Amino acid sequence: MDKNSFLIYLDYQEQFELLTDEEAGKLIKAIIKYEKTGEITNLEGMAKMAFSFIKQQLDRDDEKWKEEKQKRSNAGKKGMANRWKDNTDDNSAITDDNKNNSVKSVISRNNKYN
């Protein structure tokens, strides 16, 4: 996964309060493992039930993040197309070579003293 953080809601306190400290520790480790790898840890009893509720919210948050990331990507592509005067919707101005199109390289190319 490409994320390095996730949300823990204060609403989860209710589920955590129903667990022993040992169960709560296993639950938080299971949550972190799920967010990092997508793997579901084998939990038992109340910790398993709490994880099922929390997992649903984690999945909703992940879906919202992916949608937001896609919107930002599309906006960036549109901005690059406008920047390079390509007003078509096919984003043909966007290439892997655009990484080198920085202000510094433009100034360097136009500098008569180089």
Q: What is the pLDDT of residue 24?
A: 95
Residue pLDDT, tens place only, 50-82: 999 999 999 999 899 888 888 888 888 888 877
The Cα-based distances of 112 to 3, 102, 107, 108, 109 in angstroms read 44, 18, 10, 8, 8
Token reading at 26 = 């296993």
Token reading at 67 = 């949608």
Q: What is the pLDDT of residue 101?
A: 57
Please give the model's pTM, rounded to 2 decimal places.
0.61
Residue 29 has pLDDT above 90, yes or no: yes
| Cβ-contact 15, 54 below 8 angstroms | yes
